[in-house]
A and B are shown apart, each in its own frame.
Chain A
Amino acid sequence: MIDRPDLETLLGAMAATLSNEVVPASTGVAQHAARVVANLCLILQRETALGAGRERDASKAVAALLGGREEGETLGELSEALERRIMDCDDAFAEEVRRVLLEDARRRLTIDRPGYAP
């Protein structure tokens, strides 16, 4: 009933295989593609662990910024609503938005590029 290895483990193994076996055995364009795919596997591995929580936190923060939102709106819908507010907002709101987006960017970076945000 339970598949093993699980998603996280497989992604890690795929990254390691690409890095340790495919990259050294290839050259040029193929080698570069293998490196890129290995890195994507690691990104996806982190996303399986952290992605749902990140999206939940982002939705909560944006909904709080906007105020009066309906239950169950997707992050995409909330982002669209936030975009519409941004262009005509005052400086105080813009700074609040910047802080929320920066915090979300930090969380996304823990998935896409750990260590990028100090």
Chain B
Amino acid sequence: MIESEFSELASRLSRILPRHPAVSVTGAASLGAQRGTFMIEIGGSGGRTAVAQVSSGPLDVTSVDLEARLIQHAARVGVRVPEVLAWDVEAGVIISERVDGETIPRRILRMTAADETLGRRLVRDCGHSLAVLHGAPVQGFSELPDQSEPTCYVETLTDLVDSLEAPNPSFRLGLRWLARNAPERSRSACLVHGDFRNGNIIVDQNGLAAVLDWELAHLGDPMEDLAWICLRTWRFGEDANEVGGFGRLESLREAYEEAGGTFRPEAFRWWTAARTLWWAVGLARQAKAFVDGDTTSIVLAASGRRVVELEYDLLMEIG
């Protein structure tokens, strides 16, 4: 983005905030295909620092409002999240407080490698946060999809595998296993984050500073969230530490149960396989978009060469 675009963005953001203070855009933290994240100052130089997430693709007008309300709900029930300052559905913008800390997974792992107690605090914070999120009554989110029923999830996965149009026996074997080993549905569907992992958290020297990226939240089986954060792909090479590469599953489980959660081992195993397959298919779809000419992104093309890692994990999981 060039300076004039930053200036135009700053004007838009000012109009969204209460009392329309002066806003300056100080940098772009990330620029994805669908969303950009910008660092801003509110109230002139030296003012409050904040973050603006701006949808840059086709706008889903329900998603901005829903995401902002989800973040506020999470804060109310005791999950650490950035405070939402304002949002605007038409502009596709959410403005939140800036929370200090680290978000890059490998840097988080360097922090926890240098300080063992930080890793332990972090995994316990994650367990606690997930338990309070899953345990809270969910009201006012009737528009959220319910993905808690395992057999429905298998149907969804099957449709996704079929959409690849290329044979993948590993995926079919995974679907077979999932269909034949579906656990009992969780007693009641709860709010699950849907993408709680190393890469979507802010970590400081005290532990978990904030949970980010709530746009995939839905009603579901709580074991889905616990399985997701433990997928090998989110350990960034620190494979012995099941939880995000920074902590052990037994500590996550302990903290989760201490905060009122119920850990169901068979369901956890099933959701581990299901979410491994889901992510494998996600990477394969990214590569397919490149092969089909829908994108020229070399990063998405390269996703096709990561699929085998998830296939391997899946085949090991279902053995």
Q: Which candidate, B65-73, B241-249, B311-319, is the interface stretch facing chain A?
A: B311-319
A65 to chain B, nearest CB (A): 10
Cβ contact within 8 Å between A105 and B172: no
Q: Name B305's contact: one of A102, A105, A112 (CB within 8 Å).
A: A112
Interface of A is mostly: helix
Give Cα A101–Cα B171 distance, bound, in whole angstroms: 10
In-complex Cβ contact of A40 among B298, B312, B316, B319 (8 A): B298
Q: Out of A32, A87, A89, A112, which one reaches B308, CB within 8 Å?
A: A112
Number of interface residues of B (CB under 8 A): 25
Q: Does A83 contact B (CB under 8 A)?
A: yes
With a cutoff of 8 Å between Cβ atoms, the chain B residues found around residue A79 in the complex are 167-169
Count of residues in A whose CB is under 8 Å from the partner chain: 31
How close is A92's CB to chain B, nearest CB, in angstroms?
13
Contact of A106 among B166, B169, B177, B312 (CB under 8 A): B312
Query: Is there an interface contact between B168 and A83, defined as CB atoms closer than 8 Å?
Result: yes
The reply to whether B167 and A87 form a contact with Cβ atoms under 8 Å apart is no
| Chain A nearest Cβ from B38, distance in angstroms | 13
Bound: A32/B21 CA distance, A: 35
A105-B311 contact given A43-B305, A87-B175, CB 8 Å threshold? yes
* B319 contacts A98, C-beta separation under 8 Å: yes
Q: Which residues of A contact B172 (CB under 8 A)?
A: 83, 86-87
| Chain B interface (Cβ < 8 Å from any Cβ of A) | 31, 166-170, 172-173, 175-177, 298-299, 301-302, 305-306, 308-309, 311-312, 315-316, 318-319
